[in-house]
């Protein structure tokens, strides 16, 4: 059955979905990874594709920007289309002094200033954490990398606001070891917990929020995104017989 936001048919989605924010990025990932990829939904231009990667079914769908959008799509993917795991692959702003532009951040947990998760269990401060199986797969792949990619594993902040930040907020989070700020992970982890499914966010550091630094060139942005995509893909296919994912 279709939903108000996804026009796919039953069985169109694979058990694992890569979840970039930009639908054009979803199209690009599908074209890169799956020569047989087919468009299964494009409601509101939020494109979703399914194909096979090295013989294993895989889907890619845009999430849009922000927690409300990501929550809508994640809920429908889990509840209606029986997706088992969603791996967000996107960007973040580094706030920890050890996190530099071009690094990869694997979000073990996500703090948030949003009220979305606070309404899930009254009187409880919900812990938005990644699924251990996916986290372990991505971390293991990161530890075995032969290149010079720097990968950080820890907490991030999921924000509703892109521009507005209360004075001192990020500095205090930095003091508590928070690595970066982004806009979707906490809500995704909350939806996954609700449906007892798996979720993970693997992020490329596109800028540093608390320190001045050079902007990434388009070539650097694409190259570094590929580093995060490899880890996200390895997590998505963690229960297959394939070794660490390789990108074409």
117: tokens are 């998760």
H-only helix segments in the chain? 23-33, 67-79, 132-143, 169-175, 185-195, 218-236
| Contact call for residues 157 and 182 (beta carbons, < 8 A) | yes
Q: Name the residue among 34, 24, 48, 53 with its Cα closest to residue 234.
A: 53
Q: Name the residue among 106, 209, 116 with its Cα closest to residue 164.
A: 209
30: tokens are 């599908």
227 catalytic? Reply is no
| The one catalytic residue among 36, 98, 207, 212 | 207
Q: Which residues are catalytic?
A: 207
């Amino acid at each position: 059955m279709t939903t108000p936001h996804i026009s796919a048919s039953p069985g169109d989605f694979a058990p694992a979905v890569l979840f970039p924010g930009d639908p054009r990025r979803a199209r690009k990932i599908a074209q890169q990874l799956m020569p047989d990829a087919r468009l299964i939904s494009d409601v509101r231009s939020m494109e979703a594709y399914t194909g096979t990667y090295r013989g294993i079914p895989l889907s890619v769908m845009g999430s849009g920007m922000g927690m409300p959008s990501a929550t809508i799509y994640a809920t429908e993917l889990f509840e209606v289309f029986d997706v088992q795991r969603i791996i967000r692959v996107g960007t973040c702003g580094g706030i920890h002094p050890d996190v530099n532009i071009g690094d990869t951040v694997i979000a073990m947990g996500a703090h948030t200033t949003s009220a979305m998760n606070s309404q899930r269990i009254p009187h409880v401060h919900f812990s938005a954490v990644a699924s251990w199986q996916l986290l372990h797969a991505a971390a293991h792949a990161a530890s075995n990398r032969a290149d010079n990619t720097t990968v950080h594993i820890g907490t991030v902040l999921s924000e509703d606001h892109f521009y507005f930040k209360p004075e001192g907020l990020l500095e205090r989070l930095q003091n508590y070891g928070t690595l970066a700020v982004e806009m979707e992970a906490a809500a995704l982890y909350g939806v996954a917990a609700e449906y007892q499914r798996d979720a993970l966010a693997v992020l490329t550091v596109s800028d540093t929020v608390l320190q001045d630094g050079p902007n990434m060139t388009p070539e650097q942005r694409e190259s570094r995104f590929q580093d995060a995509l490899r880890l996200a893909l390895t997590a998505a296919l963690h229960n297959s017989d394939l070794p660490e994912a390789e990108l074409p």
